[in-house]
Structure 1
Amino acid sequence: MNLTLLLSFAGLCLLLAITPGPDSFLVLRYSIGGVRPGIAAAIGSSVGGLVWAVVVAAGLAALLEQSASAYRTIKLIGGVYLLYLGVRALLAHRKKAKESAPVVPVAASIRSAALAGMLSTMFNPKVGLFYLAVVPQFLTEVTFGSTMTLGAIECVVAGAFLIVLAFAASRAVEILRRPKVTQRLDRISAGVLAALGIGTVASAV
């Protein structure tokens, strides 16, 4: 692999990273409670992508392409998990709305945010299929090392973008620290996660 090829792949990864998806909305969701949970979710998502890189590099992702039932199973698990996160967030929002105290975003733990980001990406088979369909186009020689090199580039690019997104989102919440604004951000991000989960489950059934 030459430098031009690597830069081209990094550019493609950046274009894909800025496209809104479950990972972006998950980072936004956790960033409402503070920049650290948002960054943790971003790093967790990157780790999940790296897991897929290992899987694809080992050739196991071919099973997902050849087995429709395996693909649907993983997709269904991922959709249910996203739906769980969205519903849990919506219930927490309703509970806070009923309280008389001012609405303040509740910061999630670093560990739970990172785990949510990692599991969300790990149970997204589209990530694996991206590696399976796109990565080979940038490989001059298909080896475990070269595949992992591109996987590492994708994870770094996506993780860097998501970390910037976490900083921007948490900063925006600090600037617009009005109860109505935080309520809407909380409700919208939770609703989007739930909608993504429902859509993923529906498409897998």
Structure 2
Amino acid sequence: MLSIKNLTAGYEQSVVLENASINAQKGAVTAVLGRNGVGKTTLIKSIIGLIKPIVGKIEWEHEDITSLPPEERVRKGIGYVPQGREIFSTLTVEENLLLGFEALPKKVNPSQILEEIYDLFPVLKEMLHRKGGDLSGGQQQQLAIARALVGQPQLLLLDEPMEGIQPSIVQLIREVILQIAKEKRVGVLLVEHNLDLAFSCADYFYILDRGTVVAQGDVAETNKHEIQQYLTV
């Protein structure tokens, strides 16, 4: 379980996220929604350790990880797919995937893990020797998610994974999110601005506005029209 308590974070002298408390459970998809610039990416970067919180606490599996560097958080089972994918464009698909094994013990069986990845994203097996920069946007996003999954995370942080992707790939990514959450019991924290997309796969949601949590609840018990006001520009 991920537990974020009274988190305040930002950049230099600018506070972007203020007094935010959020939980995410294993085996469930937790959506974080909000307009652009309300602190969603700041939240994700704070969880993975790219931003040092001003105040507040981040706990993972009942351990305080607030001060741990990003690589230690990855080794503790937290995977991260940033907005914009950030794959290595000059490396092949296979080389990008192999980098994901850095977080795992040496005794793991790479071939078994990779076969599971290819089951989720068949196109990657077909393009193993193609450079990452030669892939389409949707293929690059699949590669970015696959690279994170290679590390066998127990919690996966996804920052706008379906932004600018063609509808067929959006549907594939949605199905993968549901599969890893429900079948593999991975916790997924999904940052998204599209309410319909988020609610199509999330169990629980939080809405950020001006850096604070303004609404939260179970997706199944929430009327989307009642929270739309927080998402319209």
Normalised to the residue count of structure 1, the TM-score between the two structures is 0.24
Instruction: Name the one with the larger strand percent.
Output: 2
Normalised to the residue count of structure 2, the TM-score between the two structures is 0.21
Instruction: Name the one with the larger helix percent.
Output: 1
